[in-house]
A = this chain, B = another copy of it.
Amino acid sequence: MMQPTRKDEIIKTAAKLFKEKGYSAVTMRDLATAMGMKAASLYNHISSKQEILKIIIISIAEDFTQGIDVIYNSESNNLGKLSQVIELHVKIATNNTYGMASLNNDWMHLEGQLDYYLSLRNKYEATFLNIIKDGIASSEIKAVNPEIIMFTMLSTLRSLFLWIPKKEDLNANDLANSLSRILIQGINK
């Protein structure tokens, strides 16, 4: 681990503020104050507010798309793959609680990279859906509308960033296990 550059610190601080108020409501002066400097000084490190958003969102989106590809091509059965997807989300959300907020809420404010972001998201969802469809075809998964299954799982997983900070006592493994149990086995006894 290299020590973080000043640019890294700015991006991390920005992500924290974006989580609290959203990209549009955070001004460069807010960010500067949080960094203990003046707004103009930020531009010694970054080229624009937009660049900050791009760096935050795109890197995470690429992690997801790449991660699910590895899972999809692995040897597990389909329920196993879904458990791995849950682990992937828990891991990324744990390591990047602030950035996940921007990914979820501020992707529409991407200017140059909006199309690229959407292509990553579409690819991700298509692969996710394929795992579910394969699981239905192989009778591992109930024959419910696969899009509703994906929606249910994805809504939960995408909201993890909201809950993880409140449950610091819960470690990542326990959380992933509980989620797998609930999402896959259901809650009824």
Contacts and interface: CB of A to CB of B under 8 A. Distances in A.
B149 A182 contact: yes
Contacts of A108: 20-22
A188 B142 contact: yes
Interface stretch (A6-14, A44-52, A112-120, A151-159): A151-159
Interface in A88-112: 105-106, 108-109
A40 interface: no
A30 to B, nearest CB: 12
Nearest to A154: B159
A28 interface: no
Contact of A186 (B20, B175, B184): B184
Contact of A156 (B151, B167, B178): B151
A105 B22 contact: yes
| Chain A facing B: main interface SS | helix
A152 B189 contact: no
Interface residues of A, number: 41
Contacts of A126: none
A60 interface: no
Contacts of A159: 151, 155, 158-159
Nearest to A155: B159
A183 B152 contact: yes
Contacts of A20: 108
Sorted from nearest, which 3 A-B pairs have the closest CB atoms?
A186-B186, A155-B159, A24-B24
